[in-house]
């Protein structure tokens, strides 16, 4: 998937409109007013410097494309090679604090689970996952035989190697911090920079100061659309600003729940913890297979399977509304009454009374084991 070229070659292959986009993203004043040659010269000089500065903001999949050793481990793997590759990745500190320690007692199932998660994070087959690099001139897309390949500038690979040699530990500190940002966003809904720093420092021993942590979150929020920021807090984009304010104002004196490393790992990649995900998936499956939603226009009940077959956007959207609100309500601590209101609002009918009661029961179970946002991540039983 990856190949190399010089930075100058990559820039010269682009149309001026693409160069202007890169120039705008890199902060060049009025790049559209520059001649193409002048814009190429400016970017040739600017990009290596900006690349070194921005490495700490790269996602794992963006960071890893510059590591040849990482990409090679995916070719023709057998069990022994996979285990050796993962161990080498850990020894080289390329998987910082993401999967827990993997030692000689790890089962092959554990190794493959970690491997699958790492592939999901790092090696996405879609070139779209590298749009940030492309739009900033750090990589170039090349189309051949209806296949997208990514070409990396040789100069930036050199900058990458030098930066990692000089700042490797710091870069990996920030890579770990990304996981903690998403973990605490999913766990608390709203989190203060002070709490993020406290949890991050205690569990990783990182020397990053509170100011550096806050500055990073503020800068990184411009790249990630998964959370929003204020001067003192960051919060999930699932919350409206008014809801964020309600949680903060009503809960100022309550301490945050302090998560375990296992929970942080789970919440780094999911909206719920593992047990809650299992119940949510069971509830979702039950609703999809044992209910129908009324089509108001045609005055008939339509199942999810029928809506899929008919490509009925209205019915499919109604089902998604249920699941979006179930997730949100469980996090907010809303009770069964609010869940039933959602079901009534979309005119849903369960196939049997038992199916309906099972859905209600699962929602109550989900409530019991879901960290509640207004309570700063705590379960009711832990208060």
Task: Find the helix packing angle between 154-188 and 210-220, rounded to 10°.
Answer: 100
pLDDT at 375 over 50: yes
Query: What are the beta bridge partners of residue 106?
Result: none
The Cβ-side half-sphere exposure at 305, using a 13 Å CA radius, reads: 5
* pLDDT of the residue at 269: 77
Q: For the chain, which residues make up each domain, given as ranges?
A: 172-268, 274-382
Top-level class of domain 172-268? mainly alpha
* pLDDT of the residue at 307: 93
* pLDDT of the residue at 81: 56
Are the C-beta atoms of residues 99 and 117 closer than 8 Å to each other? yes
Residues 6+ apart with CB under 8 A from 76: none
**Looking at per-residue confidence, does 40 or 76 come out higher?**
40
Highest mean pLDDT, choosing among 167-176, 299-308, 371-380: 299-308
The average pLDDT across 168-186 equals 89
Average pLDDT, the chain: 84
pLDDT at 109 over 70: no
pLDDT at 208 over 90: yes
- Measured from the Cβ of residue 222, the count of other Cβ atoms closer than 10 Å reads 9
Cβ-count burial of 190 within 10 angstroms (0-12 exposed, 13-18 middle, 19+ buried)? buried
What is the value of pTM for the model shown? Answer: 0.78
- Measured from the Cβ of residue 196, the count of other Cβ atoms closer than 10 Å reads 25
* pLDDT of the residue at 263: 87
Kindly indicate the confidence band of residue 200, based on its pLDDT and cuts at 50, 70 and 90.
very high
Q: Where are the alpha helices (DSSP H) in the chain?
A: 7-12, 16-25, 36-54, 60-64, 68-72, 79-91, 108-122, 131-135, 154-188, 193-204, 210-220, 241-250, 261-268, 274-289, 304-310, 313-332, 336-345, 353-369
The average pLDDT across 286-315 equals 92
Kindly indicate the confidence band of residue 246, based on its pLDDT and cuts at 50, 70 and 90.
confident
Sheet holding 140-144, edge to edge: 2-5, 147-153, 140-144
Q: What is the pLDDT of residues 220-235, one digit of tens each?
A: 998 888 899 999 999 9
Token digits of residue 47 = 């990009």
pLDDT at 197 over 80: yes
Q: What is the pLDDT of residues 56-84, one digit of tens each?
A: 998 877 887 787 655 554 444 455 555 56
pLDDT at 349 over 90: yes
Give one DSSP letter per residue of 28-52, joined into a string: -SSGGGS-HHHHHHHHHHHHHHHHH
């Amino acid at each position: 998937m990856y190949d190399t070229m010089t930075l100058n070659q990559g820039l010269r292959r682009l149309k001026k409109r693409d160069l202007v986009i890169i120039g705008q993203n890199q902060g060049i004043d009025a790049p559209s007013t520059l001649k193409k040659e002048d814009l190429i010269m400016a970017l040739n000089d600017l990009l290596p410097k900006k690349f070194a500065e921005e490495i700490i903001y790269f996602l794992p999949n963006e960071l890893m494309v510059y590591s040849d050793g990482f990409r090679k481990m995916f070719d023709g793997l057998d069990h022994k090679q996979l285990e050796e590759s993962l161990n080498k990745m850990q020894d080289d500190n390329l998987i910082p604090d993401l999967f827990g320690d993997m030692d000689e007692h790890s089962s092959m199932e554990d190794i493959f689970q970690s491997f699958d998660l790492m592939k999901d994070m790092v090696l996405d087959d879609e070139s779209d996952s590298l749009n940030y690099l492309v739009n900033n001139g750090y990589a170039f897309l090349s189309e051949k035989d209806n296949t997208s390949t990514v070409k990396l500038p040789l100069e930036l690979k050199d900058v990458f190697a030098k930066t990692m040699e000089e700042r490797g530990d710091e870069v990996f500190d920030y890579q770990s911090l990304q996981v903690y940002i998403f973990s605490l966003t999913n766990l608390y809904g709203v989190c203060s920079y002070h709490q993020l720093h406290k949890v991050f420092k205690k569990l990783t021993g990182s020397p990053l100061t509170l100011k550096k942590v806050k500055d990073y979150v503020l800068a990184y929020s411009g790249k990630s659309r998964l959370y929003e920021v204020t001067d003192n807090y960051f919060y999930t984009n699932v919350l409206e600003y008014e809801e964020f304010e309600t949680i903060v104002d009503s809960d100022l004196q309550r301490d945050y729940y302090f998560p375990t490393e296992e929970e942080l790992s789970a919440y780094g990649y999911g909206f719920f913890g593992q047990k809650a995900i299992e119940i949510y998936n069971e509830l979702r499956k039950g609703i999809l297979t044992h209910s129908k939603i009324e089509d108001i226009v045609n005055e008939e009940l339509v199942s999810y399977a029928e809506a899929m077959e008919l490509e009925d956007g209205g019915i499919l959207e109604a089902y998604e509304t249920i699941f979006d609100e179930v997730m949100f309500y469980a996090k907010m601590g809303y009770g069964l009454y609010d869940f039933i209101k959602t079901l009534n609002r979309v005119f849903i009918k369960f196939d049997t009374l038992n199916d309906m009661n099972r859905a209600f029961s699962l929602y109550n179970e989900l409530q019991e084991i879901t960290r509640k946002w207004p309570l700063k991540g705590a379960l009711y039983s832990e208060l």
